[in-house]
Structure 1
Amino acid sequence: MNSTQLLAEAYRPILGRAERVDEEEGWFATQLPGWTVRDLLFHLASDCQRALVAFSTPSAEEPDTDEITYWSRWKPGGEAAQSGLRGTRIIASVWSSVRGPAELYMETAQAVLHAAANSDPDAVVVTQNRRMRVDSLLRTLAVEAAVHHLDLEQVLPHPPAAPVLKEVRRVLDGLLGESAPEAWQDIRYIRIGTGRLPLNQDEHEILGPLADRLPLFG
């Protein structure tokens, strides 16, 4: 599956749910501390806005990051992560209805999918002061959407499509430095790898020194 198709597959279920989300569901908790569904929808919309800026910020230089190394800066639990959680919560509270962030997400996500389908995957763009190929950008967007899809479990109980989960697993393995045990189910590995769940004792022993690298991003 190419990166454009992968992104469309990652966005499809979230778009479908955003179209139907109501006020009660908007207040449901997600897997992220302090964030409700409306907060996470706003965060997803912000990620789409960043992507649209990237599509319009070409670079003539070679890439300095790819879809795996991109995530090495993002670690959960740090001061920057906590600040991001608070900031998103504050901004998302501006809307009086969940339909505000839901519709913003729907508009920007559809715009991203259109831009992706009309972009050269080998072109280099700039995002967050880093240069990456469009193909890598689309893969990071798909991974982000998949991780947050799982965060929306209360309103989106069906998991992301298998190719999308496979892509997240590939990224986690790349950051870990080797493949995680095949017996680890994709969803548990993703939640452990992104700091949503801790390793249990058996998992810690299986990984050995590699366990110290977890969480890999978040």
Structure 2
Amino acid sequence: MTDAEPTQDQYPPGPPPPPQPPERVRTEPVRALHAAYQALAAVVAPLEDEDSWQPTGCTGWAVRDLLHHCLMDCERGLVALHTPAPGPVDRDAVTYWSDWRPGTEGAANGRRWARVSASMFLYFDQLRGLYLETAAATLHAAAATDPGLLVSTQGHTLTAGDLMSTLTVEATIHHLDLVASFPHAPGPSPSGLARVRDTLDGLLGRPLPLDWNDEHYARAATGRLPLTDAEARALGPDAASFPLFG
């Protein structure tokens, strides 16, 4: 009896490969995140040390403080994209934000932590360079990750696609914060602003009944701008929900 290489017919058929989502579904969260991060990088890259001391739209934060916060968000996303979770999912791209409310002790502690941590960078270009390379690494990881993969971040489980959406929203809102002192700087990406609007509408429970542009909606719904009396009347009972997160 001679040894022979087994033929394909000798193996039992394996299970069929799992169905793949349409290419649009697979790439849409990545494209939105890429657009948001690239738009923010275009503002950050030319900033100099003197620019880093300018105030931002975040109370108590200069540019360098805000950029350190954005760095930590990129790092968190990078870790999460490499941290598969068994499930079940307990957050999505909208409900993720239900934990983040302004005026809480956690929010105040976060502001102080960012200021202290950012102050450890003697030269702004060190912080700027670390942010830019970490953001690029996060985009690389996102492009290589199936949006349907379950991942873990901040004690919750969600799909990688929903995680990418939350990162897009965070970067877009902080882009608006950053350009508060740089009126000629380019604004956020349209796809990032669209993600912000979708998220805010989801938290509100209905499409916004006011004729606000995306930037005003983002600022007002996250506590950057107070509601006027007329806006509060138009919102009715929903005005009590503002800010929706911050």
Q: TM-score, normalised by structure 2?
A: 0.86
User: Which of structures 1 and 2 has the larger relative contact order (alpha carbons within 8 angstroms, sep 6+)?
Assistant: 1
The answer to whether 1:155 aligns with 2:187 is: no
- How far the C-alpha of 1:8 sits from its partner, in A, is 0.5
Residue in structure 1 matched with residue 85 of structure 2 by the alignment: 59
Residue in structure 1 matched with residue 206 of structure 2 by the alignment: 178
Residue in structure 2 matched with residue 201 of structure 1 by the alignment: 229
The one-letter code sitting in structure 1 at the alignment partner of 2:48 is: D
The answer to whether 1:35 aligns with 2:61 is: yes
Alignment of 1:115-130 (within 5 A): 115-130=141-156
Alignment of 1:72-83 (within 5 A): 72-83=98-109
Residue in structure 2 matched with residue 85 of structure 1 by the alignment: 111
Q: Distance in 1 between matches of 2:210 and 2:48?
A: 38
Q: Encode CA deviations 1:141-198: one digit per residue, 9 max, x unaligned.
A: 0000000000011236332122211110010010011111251111111111111011
Residue in structure 2 matched with residue 217 of structure 1 by the alignment: 245
* Contiguous gaps of at least 5 residues in structure 1: none
Q: Distance in 2 between matches of 1:217 and 1:206?
A: 20
* Contiguous gaps of at least 5 residues in structure 2: 1-23
Q: Distance in 2 between matches of 1:17 and 1:209?
A: 38
- How far the C-alpha of 1:118 sits from its partner, in A, is 0.4
SS at match of 1:131: strand
Q: Distance in 2 between matches of 1:69 and 1:161?
A: 23
* CA 1:145–1:190: 2 relative to 1, 3 Å: same
Q: Distance in 2 between matches of 1:42 and 1:93?
A: 9
Q: Distance in 1 between matches of 2:142 and 2:57?
A: 29
The answer to whether 1:71 aligns with 2:102 is: no
SS at match of 1:20: coil
Tell me the percent identity: 44
Q: Distance in 1 between matches of 2:192 and 2:156?
A: 24
Q: Encode CA deviations 1:49-81: one digit per residue, 9 max, x unaligned.
A: 111111121112231110000001101121111
Mapped contact 2:43–2:186 kept (Cα < 8 A) = no
Residue in structure 1 matched with residue 15 of structure 2 by the alignment: none
Q: Distance in 1 between matches of 2:220 and 2:182?
A: 21
Q: CA RMSD in A?
A: 1.2
Residue in structure 2 matched with residue 168 of structure 1 by the alignment: 196
The one-letter code sitting in structure 1 at the alignment partner of 2:197 is: R
